[in-house]
Amino acid sequence: MRTDAPVDIAVIGAGPAGLTAALHAARSGADVLVIDAQPGRGGQIWRGAHADRPGPATTLLRELDACPNVRWRGQTEVAWVEGDGTHRELILSSPEGLSRQPARRVILATGAVERFLPFPGWTLPGVVGAGALQAMVKAGLVVRGQRVVVAGSGPLLLAVAAGLRTAGAVVLGVAEQAPMVSAARFGLAAARLGGKTREAAGLAWALRGVPYWPGTYPLHADGDGHLETVTLRRGGRDVTLECDWLAAGFGLVPETRVAALLGCALTDSGAVRVDAWSQTSVPGVYAAGEVTGVGGVDMACHEGRVAGCAATGQIERLSDAAATSARHRAFQTALDTAFTLRPELRALPSPDTTVCRCEDVTHATLRGQHSWTEAKLKTRCGMGTCQGRVCGPATETLYGWRFSGVRPPLVPLPLSDLLADH
């Protein structure tokens, strides 16, 4: 296995938090390596961002490109980690195989993944995540003229619907499981933060004419081999819609697997625990953005700046950080409260609904288990290729389990890569 020259700072994740962290870290003169599983920079929200194409990330990317001490590697993931604080090596997996990357400090900016909830028919091709469909469109999926129902929970649904509309899809409606009063309260909280008002106006324009159904959730999806209809419960009534895609996402869950490998402690809500300077419980490991709690792009950029400065000893540049952090945390709390998942969602799966997609483990099998660990041992739930990334958060909602226990390698490796090492 090739061993690369050590870097001062390895930033894992090239979304808003990671890119901002890299830029601020680079200002200290440190050499910085940014890696991401995607082929391009931008993370999920700025996916497809480019330094010479106008967009929200253009300035940031230009500034980064002007730093000779920042390098970028796409299609690269952390497979496992060796060593400790004084000599830490990340084992990176990319299409070229495995390589060893010593890193003095690590900034985790691994973001979040969508929470999927099982309901009858959710495994049909055509049922995808909400953020997922947006990502697929940004990666070239053509949806012009196709009928889409967007369902689930959270402000992401609106951004997704707007993006799909702009790409020419026929958005039949946005089903938000939270009741109207919650969604309205969230609107107020967002407006108070300033800066969000303009964002909201842009969304409103893109979404004109698209129905928004608060208090509505998918009951089941049906079709012969692929999605044909979705049935929504709205108030006391069930409505069935014909569609080509059901984009369903129930909020975001911090992606903490690399953090867990490094031994970072988590909070009760399953995010990476950090102090005011973005330091995790592991010396030399910092974390920023959604991995520390889901709060949106502005908060991610702010935390990226804190992490980038703190990891390179530029604390004096952070005098205003505490006040900004408090403001963002208030927004985050408002978000969580407004979009709390309703208990009815836990009753959606029927006994034969698949919950663990990799191993085809059903709801009937799983509800007889007592914990994530027991389920893993007795049913193979969470033991398949995704290693619990889909069913973990789902079982958390359905059965109240806390999923844990990542095991390296985090990515399935071709045997040839491992053998090439010997």
Partner 1 sequence: MPELMIEGRAVTVAEGTSVLAALQNAGYRTLRHSRSGEPRGALCGMGSCHECRAVVDGRIVRTCVTPARNGQRVTLLTGDHAD
Measured distance CA(376)–CA(395) in Å, rounded: 12
Please identify, using beta-carbon distances, which residue of 307 and 391 lies nearer to partner 1: 391
Residues 157-216 that bind partner 1 (CB under 8 A): none
Q: Does 420 bind partner 1 (CB under 8 A)?
A: no
* In the block, residue with structure tokens 């102090």: 275
Where does 67-215 show beta strands of DSSP type E? 70-73, 77-83, 88-94, 97-108, 112-114, 127-128, 147-153, 170-176, 212-214
Residue of 29, 39, 211, 368 interacting with partner 1 (CB under 8 A): 39
Confirm if 287 and 275 have CB atoms less than 8 A apart: no
We find the least distance from the C-beta atom of residue 28 to partner 1, in angstroms, to be: 31
Q: Does 131 bind partner 1 (CB under 8 A)?
A: yes
Per-residue binder mask for partner 1 (CB under 8 A), 90-119, x = binder: -----------------------xx-x---
Omega before 409 cis (within 30°)? yes
Instruction: Identify the DSSP state of 147.
Output: E
We find the least distance from the C-beta atom of residue 137 to partner 1, in angstroms, to be: 8
We find the least distance from the C-beta atom of residue 392 to partner 1, in angstroms, to be: 10
| Size, binding site for partner 1 by CB under 8 A | 43
We find the least distance from the C-beta atom of residue 146 to partner 1, in angstroms, to be: 11
Strands 88-94 and 77-83: antiparallel
Q: Does 360 bind partner 1 (CB under 8 A)?
A: yes
Residues 229-288 that bind partner 1 (CB under 8 A): 255
Distance of CA 165 to the CA centre of its chain: 22
Measured distance CA(384)–CA(319) in Å, rounded: 46
* Greatest alpha-carbon span in the chain: 63
Residues 379-418 that bind partner 1 (CB under 8 A): 384-386, 389-390, 412, 414
Note the residues at the interface with partner 1 (CB under 8 A): 37-40, 44, 48, 75, 77, 113-114, 116, 123-129, 131-136, 139-142, 225-226, 255, 354, 357-360, 384-386, 389-390, 412, 414
